[in-house]
Amino acid sequence: NKMNIAYMIFFVLIGLFSICGAFFNWDFFFESRKARPFVALLGRNGARIFYGVLGAFIIFCGIMAMVTA
């Protein structure tokens, strides 16, 4: 189904964005309104780890959704 493929690609891209933000330590990423609470709670390096793991999980979910469909 074309819609499932579109969702999978969307999830993979969002996951890659999260992983890249964590890996390259982008200021605009970690200073955004939605990331600030995680930086305050976990510290910058903790937030980087969190967003890297989150990105990997999102990619995994996107791939599993496609495989199981």
Q: What is the pTM of this model?
A: 0.91
DSSP string covering 34-61, please? TTHHHHHHHHHHHHHHHHHHHHHHHHHH
Q: Could you list the pLDDT tens digit for every one of the 69 residues in the chain? A: 788 888 889 999 999 999 999 999 999 999 999 999 999 999 999 999 999 999 999 999 999 988 887
Beta carbons within 8 Å of 39's beta carbon, 6+ residues apart: 30, 31, 47
